[in-house]
Amino acid sequence: MAEFDVDLFVIGGGSGGVRAARIAAGHGARVMVAEEYRMGGTCVIRGCVPKKLFVLGSHVHQEIEDAAGFGWSIAAATFDWPTLVANKDKEIARLEGIYTANVEKSGGEVVKTRAVLEDAHTIRLGTGQTVRAGTILIATGSAPNHGAMIPGIEHVISSNEAFHLPELPKRVVIQGGGYIALEFAGIFAGFGSDVTVIYRGDNILRGFDEDVRSHVRAEMEKAGITVLTGCTVSKVDRHGKEFTTHLSGGSSIASDLVMFAIGRHPNVANLGLEKAGVALNPANGGIAVDAWSRTSTPNIYAIGDVTHRINLTPVAIREGHAFADTVFGKRPVQVDYATIPTAVFSQPEVGTVGLTEAEARAQFSHVDIYKTDFRPIKATMSGRDTRVLMKLVVDGSSDRVVGCHIVGDAAAEIVQALAIAVKMKATKADFDATFALHPTAAEELVTMRTPSARYVRDAAAE
């Protein structure tokens, strides 16, 4: 009788867990994946994918407005929120089926139930069955965090519930200044809602380049979104179907919906981690792991949002793949977390890779900045008051491009390609030697010749 029922047991059927399962099975491992909710995880079911579909849908309103400048006369358009939600649900169900099928095609087994650790090798399923595994991978992701339990917190929704609202709210208050808050601000505003964003800091998009933060805020405000910074929500009152949101400064806002998007916490509760000797990282609350994604228990690993390292789907996928190659493919792989591209599907869209200006100036003695802010060609005909921002951050000593930041249409698509150049350590001279593709917004990236700023750190200050 074999010591273990399976070689690998994966807790969590999201993008990272599924990738790890498929690659491990491809290496010949006997694999089982447990998912208590729906295969696909946060990204597919209640995150990146439905959000991007909503963003695309909300952008149609702007396209209709812009059409007049190009000679189109479009009759008054109508929008039906329930149709959007129903069609989104169909697509998510299709993707969920693909995720399950892909695991099964690779030779793995999927069990739709909760899984809890009994010890370092034993997992108890929601059915009461126990499974013995040689290696366990925890990939349970994260969940919205509402923060402090203020009065009326029960009236507040998260991004999870936003995908299933029965109707489009006319007035929306969103607390938060990061990816999710700004993306939903643009979504609701695009569909016609009156949106107010509340953020505790001095400006939105903390951690992003300062020029990006300022540009996005200005564009959002031009689009009619109210952005209030330096304050927080202290209380939410309900009056029938309406809400009154009280702010820390003493003012209040009436709305039909209140949403918090102030962060996410790792899904570590009630997994039996203590029984298996799996430690948490006190600094971030996620499962503590080393560079190989190994936890404090040698045969148990963790990847993705549950580790609270870098909460991005492609990172979880890369971690899952590296884990499977290392443990089951006998090919040790460590994930390189440098120069990870990221996008905010706000309106306008943000795409960025590499260092911010502030990070570069702290790291390098000589930093050159190339920056342009211009009206896109489409706006010259549509008449829309909007501008594009493009910025390159260059190590002045080596001439290497160490950061790229774009705000505008297709920013994420452009940055995905640029990330290759940044990863390959391309220089500004390499950019300059590249032919421009005209007429495009992206050609600005290879035609900016004169630095907008140059910084030299005093050697005596180092």
Q: What is the phi/psi pair of residue 442, to 5°?
A: -65, -20
Final residue of a domain: which of 236, 262, 288?
262
Active site residue 121: no
- Answer yes or no: do 140 and 269 share one domain: yes
Q: Is residue 458 part of a domain?
A: no
Q: Within this chain, do residues 24 and 135 fall inside the same structural domain, yes or no?
A: yes
Is residue 462 assigned to a domain?
no
29 within domain boundaries: yes
Decide: 444 and 347 in contact? Cβ < 8 Å.
Answer: no
Position 20 in a domain: yes
Residue 386, domain member (yes or no): yes
Whole-number pLDDT of residue 147:
84
Q: Give the pLDDT of residue 1.
A: 42
On whether both 427 and 282 belong to a single domain, the answer is no
Query: With contact defined as beta carbons under 8 Å apart, do 287 and 302 qualify?
Result: yes
Q: Which domain holds residue 403?
A: 342-453
Burial (CB count <10 Å: 0-12, 13-18, 19+), residue 120: middle
> In this structure, are 97 and 187 located in the same domain?
no
Q: How many domains does the chain have?
A: 3
34 with 106, same domain: the answer is yes
- Block mean pLDDT (10 aa), the chain, length 462: 88 96 97 95 92 96 94 93 97 95 95 96 95 98 90 96 96 97 97 97 97 98 97 96 96 97 94 97 96 97 96 96 97 95 97 98 97 96 96 98 98 98 98 97 96 85 52
Q: What is the pTM of this model?
A: 0.94
Question: Does residue 1 sit within a domain?
Answer: no
**What's at 280, amino acid-wise?**
L
Side chain identity, residue 395: D
**Residue 6 pLDDT:** 97
Beta-bridged to residue 215, according to DSSP, are: none
Give first-to-last CA distance, the chain, whole Å. 65
d(CA 14, CA 287): 17
Annotated active-site residue in 59, 121, 155, 438: 438
Q: Is residue 332 part of a domain?
A: no
Task: Tell me, yes or no, whether 255 and 272 share the same domain.
Answer: no
Contacts 24+ apart (CB under 8 A), 204-208: 204/177, 204/178, 204/229, 205/177, 205/178, 205/344, 205/350, 206/177, 206/178, 207/356, 208/344, 208/350, 208/352, 208/356, 208/405
CATH of the domain at 169: 3.50.50.60
Q: Which residues of 435-455 are buried (b: 16+ CB within 10 A; e: fewer)?
A: eeeeeebbebbbebeebeeee
Residue 336 lies in a domain: no
Give 370's strand partners.
Answer: 392
Last residue of a domain, one of 211, 234, 262: 262
Give the C-alpha separation, 293 to 315, whole Å: 12
Pair (431, 296) in one structural domain: no
Please tell me whether residues 52 and 131 are part of one structural domain.
yes
442 vs 377: CA distance, rounded Å: 12
Cis previous bond, 341, omega within 30? no
Instruction: Please count the residues of the chain.
Output: 462
Query: Are residues 304 and 240 located together in one domain of the fold?
Result: no
Please work out, in degrees rounded to the nearest 5, the angle formed at the alpha carbon of residue 330 by the alpha carbons of 325 and 333. Answer: 45
* Judgement on whether residues 13 and 121 belong to the same structural domain of the protein: yes
* Residue that terminates a domain, selected from 230, 262, 294: 262
Contact in structure between 422 and 352 (CB atoms under 8 Å): no
Sequence letter at residue 431:
F
Residues 38, 133: one domain? yes
* Residue 13 shares a structural domain with residue 114: yes
CATH of the domain at 376: 3.30.390.30
